[in-house]
Every structure is written in C-alpha cells, then in structure tokens.
Amino acid sequence: MHRLVYFSNVSLDLNLFAIEAMVEQAAERNRPLSISGALHYNGLNFLQILEGPHQTLTPLYLRIRKDPRHSGVVKLAHEHISIRSYPDWGMKLFRGAPKGVGAPREKAPREGDLSAMIDAFFGFGHATAFAQMR
C-alpha cells in the first residue's frame, strides 16, 4: 500500500460546483481501483492525498499531472504505508481552513510528516482539524 501527496494551483475557471462534481466522479472511479483519499481545497490550491496499490497510483498521478483543471503539480510524498488514513473514502473534499487558524509555523515540516504538510499548506491549525475529521 502506498500514499501519494501532491500540491497544485487550481485553474481560475474552476468553480466550487465543478470541484464537487470532480470529487464525486473521482470517488466512483477510485473505489474499484482500491484507491482512497482526500482533496483539500483552500480557494486557490489543491493538496490531494491518494492511497492505494503502487501499480494503480502511479498511472493515476501521471493522468492527474496532465489535467487542465490545475497547474504547477508538485509531488510532496510517495511513500509506503501499512494502513490507510481513508479506508472508506473513494475521495472526499475538504474546503478552507477551520475556525481559529493561528499564526504560521516557524519550523519547516519534516519529511514524511503529513500533518505538518497540511499545516504548511493551509496555515497553522488545519492539521488538528483534519485529524479530527479522519
């Protein structure tokens, strides 16, 4: 089992309705492929976490990189995992930052620290709310 995490810039033409429809379609396509995950959207960017078999994640990521609905795709992590964080989700959308977001972190996230990556992406405090939603 593997986890792949990437960051990208959302196309200015993409509205929330289109993003919700995209996530719904992805959930349906991902389930038969044993892929699960979450798409985080902050109004400007995506941070997506995909989990599943390596042989399925790699071709999916290559297709995602070419998708015109976003640009500037940067892979943040591709790692072996022993257990899924999202076992029941083909894909789920999370929007914005939670209430009470504080000052940005002073330290850079450690490699492989998913909560720190989410904090760095959305601003301090999001990883805690994210962990509570999982």
For the stretch 17-35, pLDDT in tens is 999 999 999 999 999 999 9
Asked, for residue 42, whether it belongs to a domain, the answer is yes
52-73 as b/e: b if 16+ CB within 10 A? beeeebeebbeebeeeeebeeb
Residue 119 lies in a domain: no
DSSP alpha helix (H) spans, the chain: 16-30, 54-66, 114-122, 126-133
Other beta carbons within 10 angstroms of residue 51's beta carbon come to 23
Q: Is the alpha carbon torsion for 66, 4, 86, 128 positive or negative?
A: negative
Mean pLDDT (the chain, rounded): 78
Q: Which two tokens stand for residue 76?
A: 């943040």
- The total of structural domains in the chain comes to 1
State pLDDT tens for residues 72-114.
Answer: 999 988 899 998 888 888 888 888 643 333 333 334 334 456 6
Q: How confident is the model at residue 127 (pLDDT cuts 50, 70, 90)?
A: very low
Domain membership of residue 108 (yes or no) is no
114 belongs to a structural domain: no
The sign of the torsion formed by the CA atoms of 21, 22, 25, 30 equals negative
Whose tokens are 């894909």? That residue is 91
Assess if residue 120 is contained within a domain. Answer: no
Express the helix, strand and coil content of the chain in percent, nearest 5 each.
35, 30, 35
Domain containing residue 83: CATH number: 3.30.70.100
67 occurs within a structural domain:
yes
Ranking 36-50, 53-67, 101-115 by mean pLDDT, the lowest is 101-115
Per-residue pLDDT, 107: 40
pLDDT at 115: 63
- What domain range includes position 89? 2-96
The model's pTM is 0.73
User: Is 115 within a domain?
Assistant: no
Distance CA 67, CA 130 (A): 26
For residue 120, the model assigns a pLDDT of: 60
17 within domain boundaries: yes
